[in-house]
Amino acid sequence: MSKKRSFHHESLQKPDQISCILNALVEGFEQGTIKLDDGSGKIKLKPEGLLNLDLLASKEAGVNRLSIKISWRDQNCKHEPADKSSLKIYGG
């Protein structure tokens, strides 16, 4: 049985700083390794196979929220992806 390890980071960032973080994540997905380190904790992830994408966006009383959750299994599972409608994201 594998030991559970986790990493959590929360901070205030400007939009261009968030863009740099997201670009680093994109590079990690493309290269197959994502390393997270903020000085108080670190973790190394290796995305492979089919990944589950969960997006949630909301606006309420002047508070905007965008949550992005991506998950996958380490072993190669032979599950077929759910047939979902095509996602469209526009920036700007």
- pLDDT, tens digit, 9 for 90 and up, residues 37-47: 998 889 999 99
Residue in 85, 68, 60 with CA at minimum distance from that of residue 29? 68
Of 1, 13, 28, 24, the C-alpha closest to 66 is 13
CA proximity to 45, closest of 66, 24, 65: 24
pTM of the full structure: 0.74
Weakest mean pLDDT among 2-6, 22-26, 56-60, 85-89? 85-89
Report how far residue 4's alpha carbon sits from residue 26's, in angstroms, rounded to the nearest whole number. Answer: 24
pLDDT tens-digit map of 61-72: 999 999 999 999
Domain assignments of the chain as residue spans, ordered by start: 15-71
Q: How confident is the model at residue 31 (pLDDT cuts 50, 70, 90)?
A: very high
